[in-house]
Amino acid sequence: VSGEFAAVLRGLVGDGALAPAIQALLATGSTSGRALALGLCTAIDLVDRTTRPR
């Protein structure tokens, strides 16, 4: 895991500043940071959808 991606994960659990971590991730590469962010959002959505009480 890249340092930028790890910083976002830490920010999501309250162990660091989230907004700057997201900005740093999005600035990684020309498109790879955005692709990683999209994958993370997709994973979070999937977990939410499959663990939410019906």
The pLDDT of residue 6 is: 98
Mean pLDDT of the chain: 96
pTM more than 0.75: yes
CA distance 25 to 1: 12
Residue 52 has pLDDT above 90, yes or no: no
Mean pLDDT of 30-45: 97
The pLDDT of residue 46 is: 96
Find out whether 11 and 17 touch, Cβ atoms under 8 Å: yes
CA distance 28 to 22: 10
Mean pLDDT of 20-33: 97
Q: What is the band of 47 on the pLDDT scale with cuts at 50, 70, 90?
A: very high
